[in-house]
Amino acid sequence: MRDVERQDVELLQELFSAGLLVGVLVDDELEKAGVSRDLFSFLGWINALQPVTPGGLAAETGMPATTVRDYIRRLVERGDVRKIANPADGRSYQLVLTPEGKRRSERGWPAVVAAFRRVAGHLERPASEHAASARELRRALKQAIAETEAARAEKTAGG
């Protein structure tokens, strides 16, 4: 394998910065729409994946299980999400949006669309090309993290 070039490694810096900028842009639009930004993106993941287990959310978002559990607790307390029995495993649960959670998600969606429109006019290629690249990058990042976690588990088990 060839040596890693500095401009290749800069991809991670670009991704990190892009994520922060997306947050700034969407938060600005949510504020204009009068929708709380608190856990809005996490609520969106539940909306997209429901019914979804906490483990499924952790795997999809890359968040630690402890963070996912904390966010779930807050959304349940707020009344946006409810737990239902997992038909595949009677001991675990899945998450679904409550009517209030669905309303909050729907109220915030126009803000996400507005943020996208603010960006779309500045793209040099179609958004679908960027989305495909982003999905590929997210998948690669998740695989790299999984390899690290597997190596840690193996080291711990081995002594």
Q: What is the pLDDT of residues 119-144, one digit of tens each?
A: 999 999 999 999 999 999 988 988 88
Alpha-carbon torsion 52, 56, 62, 64, what sign? positive
CB count in 10 Å sphere of residue 141: 13
How far is residue 22 from each of residues 14, 16, 119, measured CA to CA in Å?
Answer: 12, 10, 9
Q: Kindly give, in sequence order, each residue whose CB lies less than 8 Å from that of residue 49, ignoring residues fewer than 6 positions away.
A: 56, 57, 60
d(CA 29, CA 18): 17
Q: Which of 2-16, 47-61, 76-90, 101-115 has the lowest mean pLDDT?
A: 2-16
DSSP-derived letter for residue 43 is H
Q: Kindly give, in sequence order, each residue whose CB lies less than 8 Å from that of residue 35, ignoring residues fewer than 6 positions away.
A: 104, 107, 108, 111
Label residue 2 by pLDDT band (50, 70, 90): low
* Structural domains for the chain: 23-114 (1.10.10.10)
Q: pLDDT digit string (tens) for 50-82?
A: 999 999 999 888 888 899 999 999 999 999 999
Q: What is the pLDDT of residue 1?
A: 42
d(CA 110, CA 30): 9
Say what the pTM is. 0.77
d(CA 40, CA 29): 12
